[in-house]
Amino acid sequence: MDSNNDAAEKHLSQSDAVMAKLIATHGPYHGAEREYQPFQSLVTAIISQQLSFKAAATIKDRVVQMVKDFTPAGFLAVTPEALRGAGLSGAKARYIIELAAHTHDGRMDFDALLKQTDAEAMATLVALPGIGQWTAEMFLMFSLKRPDVLSLGDAALQRAARKLYGEGASLEQVAEAWRPYRTLASWYLWRHVE
């Protein structure tokens, strides 16, 4: 994400009164300070799919206990059955092991993602087993730190848009004013509905 969030926050505040209030309420964004750990981020995203935050955290803790080395090689050293024993579904266990294999043998090159456009990176990610549109969008937002990603299918963003801008509000239309900082604006909407 843009390392200079001041410019983004200024743009959002000036272009949208609702966003100005959210920024004043929730303060500055600090997520851009996260270290780039793409494999770990995608594994965590797969674990978290369709689970509450608490359930996902519990299962991730169990997986971390089992796979001491949270790397592709570490996951390739455990069986899908062992991962299922930690609470993962059979599909999620397979997806994570496939991701580990793709990363380990070089079919998935995370360094190459850094040089790709948003559309290219999305296409690369959704080609991986278990990585859908939403997971790829979250990866672009928070791992690749792309400043202008909007997840139109995200239920929390849709709910926040209706709550803040009116029941008939369209997230896609409201978000036009946020360009080129829709990622940061999304973060503020998520904070609002938490």
Give the model confidence (pLDDT) of 93-119 as tens digits. Answer: 999 999 999 999 999 999 999 999 999
Higher pLDDT, 31 or 107: 107
Residue 144's nearest CA partner among 119, 107, 172 is: 119
Question: For 54-85, what is each residue's pLDDT tens digit?
Answer: 999 999 999 999 998 899 999 999 999 999 99
Q: What local confidence, expressed as pLDDT, does residue 170 receive? A: 94
- Confidence category of residue 166, pLDDT binned at 50, 70, 90: very high
The average pLDDT across 166-174 equals 94
Q: Where are the domains of the chain?
A: 5-33+148-193, 38-142
- Confidence category of residue 32, pLDDT binned at 50, 70, 90: low
CA distances from 56 to 48, 59, 72 (A): 5, 5, 20
CA gap 23, 19 in Å, rounded = 6
The average pLDDT across 25-37 equals 80
- The tally of CA atoms less than 13 A away on the side-chain side of residue 191 is 18
Alpha carbon dihedral 157, 162, 163, 165, in 10-degree steps, equals 110
CA gap 67, 78 in Å, rounded = 7
Domain 38-142 CATH class label: mainly alpha
- Confidence category of residue 33, pLDDT binned at 50, 70, 90: low
Residue 134 DSSP label: H
Question: Which amino acid type is present at position 136?
Answer: A
* Helix locations, 49-170, DSSP H: 53-66, 72-76, 80-85, 90-104, 110-115, 118-126, 133-142, 155-165
- Confidence category of residue 2, pLDDT binned at 50, 70, 90: very low
Q: What local confidence, expressed as pLDDT, does residue 49 receive? A: 87
Q: Which helix (H) or strand (E) holds 21?
A: helix 17-26
The rounded mean pLDDT for the chain is 92
The average pLDDT across 137-159 equals 93
- Confidence category of residue 30, pLDDT binned at 50, 70, 90: confident
Residue 148 DSSP label: T
Domain 5-33+148-193 CATH class label: mainly alpha
